[in-house]
Amino acid sequence: MIVRNEVVWLPVTHKAKEVFASDLFEIYELHDDGSESLCQTMDDVNRALGQGIDLCIAVGLLLPANAYGRKKIAAVWSTDDVLAIAEQNGFEITEDDAEEVLELIDQNHDANVGINWDVISYHLQNFKK
């Protein structure tokens, strides 16, 4: 993980072409000057790979310090994530269904495990039963 400008980034350079082709995530170039730019085409991905630029997806935000001076981090999951997993598993669900799945996950996930792709898939499969 890389934290820069309060954004938590997951490096995907080693599988950037596959991630970009999946159309599930936006891929960003992380530049040495601290800036980032969105890869909008596969040509952008190939150029960045050729130049040795780190390619990442945003996975969370580092929230401002609270009154006690502690930092917090939050990973945000959306209906788009649920819909993507549903499509990968051959399930046809609506946006409303995806919202229900997110609510089930929020109410029933194991705090020791957290929320991840496997947890979303598990709840989606149980939702479809």
pLDDT by residue (tens digit) across 62-96?
Answer: 766 654 566 667 778 888 889 988 988 888 999 99
| Rounded distance between C-alpha atoms, residue 82 and residue 93, angstroms | 9
Model pTM score: 0.53
Question: How far is residue 126 from each of residues 71, 80, 87, measured CA to CA in Å?
Answer: 35, 18, 15
Residue 65, pLDDT score: 61
Cβ 4 vs Cβ 12: under 8 Å: no
Residue 72, pLDDT score: 66
| Rounded distance between C-alpha atoms, residue 79 and residue 20, angstroms | 19
The dihedrals phi and psi of 108, each to the nearest 5 degrees, come to -125, 5
Residue 67, pLDDT score: 44
- Among candidates 22, 20, 25, which has minimal Cα distance to 47? 20
Regions of the chain short of the pLDDT cut 70: 63-72, 128-129
* C-alpha of 62 from chain center: 14
* C-alpha of 91 from chain center: 20
Average pLDDT in the chain = 86
The three-class DSSP label of residue 57 is: strand
Residue 64, pLDDT score: 63
Relative to beta strand 7-11, strand 36-38 is: unpaired
